[in-house]
Amino acid sequence: MSFSTDKITPFSGNQYLPCGNNILDLSSPVVMGILNVTPDSFYDGGRYYLLDKQIAQAEKMISEGAAIIDIGAASTRPYAEEVSEAEELKRLLPALEILVKRFPNIIFSVDTFWASVAEASADLGAGIINDISGGTFDENLLRIVSQKKLTYVLMHIQGTPKNMQQNPQYENVVLEIIKYFQNKIHFLQEIEVNNIILDLGFGFGKTIEHNYIILKKMMEFQEFELPILVGLSRKSMLYKPLNITPQEALNATTAAHTIALLNGAKILRVHDVKEAVEAIKIVAKLTDSITFAERI
């Protein structure tokens, strides 16, 4: 894989990723619906803590067009306390087991940095591991990802959830993230983790200003020729400048999603699936119109 920055082009790498028993088609952008089975996530903590509500919410997101359901059993919001592997497994596995059986054609992702959680999730049918740590919080995680042939979401983070928002600093945030990905991708390829999705880590060790610089310059990450996932949904970079709450930030989220799609995002990780799907459809119409205009 070349990392040359001489020519930045739209995502042109492998557009079909194996994810468990399913194939993720990224020939056009898709939505990853967030299912937090936690008591304390920043927006919907506790809302889907009971199994019947988890199933109902997954069914709703799938009916609205989610291609992936991303299940998280431990909050990674700023200043969150770490959850033990045992507790994470206790929260996660009952929901995952039922959902994989009920929705066999849907791709399930698990938001974890624990090797034991990744292994148990893969055995139940999860096809993606969504790891905020880049394999640094549990040294055995990437070995499991490699052994199980899982698709891996490689995210950039500075620090840990407990301290990442305590004065994050960069000399050049975009170049430093690019360098981080260069090193990580090289290592992942060496251990035969070949199906990689990049997450720029909005809100994970970045100021509001850092986040907007990254959003503006997202096209610079196309050099990796890997699909880019963005997690912008209802985050503080959206609601704080507007002096509103996460509950009021759906409109701002849609605006940010539109910018991200125009800048090359392939996966939107969201709380609100219907609105994200609509954003994808509108941006697609714009893209189709531009392509048509170029032909005439």
Calpha distance 161→140 (Å, rounded): 20
CB atoms within 10 A of CB 251: 12
Calpha distance 86→7 (Å, rounded): 47
Evaluate whether 261 touches 280 at the Cβ level (below 8 Å): yes
Closest Cα partner for 84 from 137, 36, 127?
137
Q: Which two tokens stand for residue 244?
A: 């509103």
Closest Cα partner for 144 from 114, 166, 164?
114
Active-site annotation, residues: 235, 269
Which pairing describes strands 22-25 and 16-19: parallel, antiparallel, or unpaired? antiparallel
- The DSSP call for residue 247 is G
Please work out, in degrees rounded to the nearest 5, the angle formed at the alpha carbon of residue 155 by the alpha carbons of 69 and 224.
105
